[in-house]
Amino acid sequence: MRDCYTEDYFANEIQVNPGRLKISELIEKHTENYHSKKAIRSNSLVTIPVVVHIVYNDPSENISTAQIISQIDVLNKDFRRLNVDANNTWQQAADTGIEFCLATVDPSGKSTTGITRTYTNASSFASNGDLIKYTSKGGKDAWPSENYLNIWVGDITGTVLGYAQFPGGKAETDGVVIDYKVFGTGSNVTPGFHLGRTTTHEVGHWLNLKHIWGSSDCMTDDLVSDTPKSDAPNYGCAKSHWSCGSLDMVENYMDYSDDTCLNLFTAGQKIRMQALFATGGFRQNIMKSNGCGIPNQANDYCGKMSIHLQLDNYPQETSWDIKDSKGLVVLKSAKYISSQKNSILKIDTCFLPGCYSFNIYDSYSDGICCKYGKGSYRVYEGEKLIAEGGSFTKSSSHSFCIINKAPTCTDGLKNGTETGIDCGGSKCEPCVSCYDGIKNGAETGIDCGGLDCVPCATTTDTIEAPTGYLLASYFETGWDGWTGGATDTERYKGDFSREGDYSIMIRDDSGEESAMTSGSIDLRNFAKVKVEFSFYSYSMEKGEEFHLMYHDGLQWKTIKNYISGTDFYNSNFYDVTFVMDATKYSFIQNGKFRFQCNASTNADQIYIDAVKITGIPTGAKESYYFDQISIIAHYIGPNPAEVVPNIDIFPNPAEDNINIVSNVEIIGIKIIDLNGKTVKEVDVNNDIFITDISSLLSGFYMVTIQTEKGIISKRLIRK
């Protein structure tokens, strides 16, 4: 019996992070808009790079490459409606225009098979834990989800065959999990689920499809108009089953029928999936992925090519390939069996230097022009036309050569001595880095300044501060020389600030993203250093903590852990004093301090304020140093119904559009450049915004958001 955990997985996401539902609602609004405006829809073929993570304990779980390839083949046939069991029972059955390829380029740009294999000590993985998705927990870390579909294959505990993460969840868990016993085809796959349709079903969820019965009874729906309502999942192959006043579509991949029964997606489901790849769609960035492209070649030129093809009235007769000088096929067409008459296609690719031939074929020996349609083809190297035609009989062939060209700083490739794409090395402009000893990018000094690097010192290698302090930060006019993560830190205005109106909020457990870091401070002339700060905690669960940390030039060291339920309790202000001794810590010219939250991901927040750092010289009175945390005022805190501001900006970095999601009313939004100039004001009419930033120059910006609860600033990177 088929058992999918996706709906339960989504419910758990919302329970942990209520803001997850808001993101899902935003994606749904985008889908509705895409569905209602036929003119904005695209017929472009979507190709999704796939990485398959095999996580095994027993050798039987380490399935063969052939079995993995068989699953990719099933996905391509099912999503393009090329499956041999396709029939005309349901007229709304559709080719979704989505294909899949095993990745050929890994996240570092190197060649890959698109398969990772990881031995684990875990005998199996529970579907409600996601441990299979983390190397540190016995699984395998995801590849960047904006460029790849991650599929984890392992032994899933219990009866669950697979589950997926709907669009809008965390990047590090984004993907699909499939039990190894139902992945691919072959004799070693569980009967009844031996045709690879479990993965087809779960990838459907990953592409925003619901269960066809709406996960409840006739009162719910799967948000697709051309799939009939159903009162419950169907099992086996109950083709005569009626419910909700109509015949159930038991053959739909999003039902629970056996693999031999499933054979279609509908046109309505196609629209839901395709909306993800349109402008503003949650998965639009995958359209730009090089995951199935050409790996970086350190010293080789790769000539960019494009093939423009218009099919005739009989597209199934047409095919083409490109062969190298040895006659080996290096690229070939898909089968155009289900393509529309006179379809226009564009294929972009890249070839290393050498000589090749482009060959086009017509199985009926009448070419593609002009008796049965006006088909044509054109092949370009860059902007140069190297082949064209349309009128031929059985085939037509054109020879061409790619000439080796010296690498340039503008070819979009990492080559030659470049340390990045079109940057670094001996010839190109330096890559933007906070560690290269050069002032570049948005830096206002050498390896400092801007929104990405540590603040530049106002005097030689030190931060100026009021008399008596090495550093004093109250955050009333800005970040006061501190930097924070793009997603899990904010400059906050409101009642949770200990002194004045502003403080810095840190939350969750995302490492540096959940941390605020000072600039460099010269500590060399002191025997002791006193650190003072105030904080307020909100929704920190018992045992959750945050850290005070120090960087001694080599590594970050935790000075002190502050634990909820032991050192502090929620809804109180605390003043803290901690004294560091030079005998224990290395006081250097460029010392740095950090506050880092280490809680869960359900809006656990610490508000840091009034940070003061003082150098204590040798010989100072002993009473001057102490280590204490003291409650200074009891704050009743928000009412249970009161909402703490939670604002997300995604994607970030971004190129075209950003989505701004808030759980409180937004009054105004401004985007400000590094010079403090407002470069864009966003129209405010609800709590969900899709904002076009394509007109902005590449670089760093601050998004200042005025809410009913105060002002919050977020960092934005325009790619």
Q: Which residues are catalytic?
A: 202
What SS3 state is found at 445? strand
- Residue with structure tokens 């019965």? 213
**Spatial contact of 317 and 375, defined as CB atoms under 8 Å apart:** no
Angle of CA points 216, 218, 220, to nearest 5°: 55
Cα distances from 121 to residues 57, 134, 139, 642, in angstroms, run: 6, 13, 9, 45
Lookup: tokens for 270? 């196609």
**Spatial contact of 612 and 563, defined as CB atoms under 8 Å apart:** no
The residues, ordered by sequence, that sit 6+ positions from 702 with a Cβ below 8 Å of its Cβ are 451, 671, 672, 713, 714, 715, 716
What is the per-residue DSSP string for 265-311? -BHHHHHHHHHTTSTT-TTGGGGG--TTSPPP-SS---EEEEEEEE-
What SS3 state is found at 324? strand
**Spatial contact of 588 and 524, defined as CB atoms under 8 Å apart:** yes
Torsion of CA 377, 380, 384, 389, to 10 degrees: -20
Instruction: Give 296's Cβ-side CA count (13 Å radius).
Output: 18
Kindly provide the b/e burial profile for residues 267-290, where b requires at least 16 CB atoms within 10 angstroms of the residue's own CB. Answer: ebbbbbbbbbbbebbbbbbbeebb
Torsion of CA 242, 248, 251, 253, to 10 degrees: -140
- Measure the CA–CA gap between 672 and 681, rounded to whole angstroms: 9
Nearest CA-CA partner of 469 in 479, 480, 484: 480
- Measure the CA–CA gap between 606 and 595, rounded to whole angstroms: 10
Q: How buried is residue 409: exposed, middle or buried, by Cβ count under 10 Å (0-12/13-18/19+)?
A: middle
- Measure the CA–CA gap between 365 and 342, rounded to whole angstroms: 18
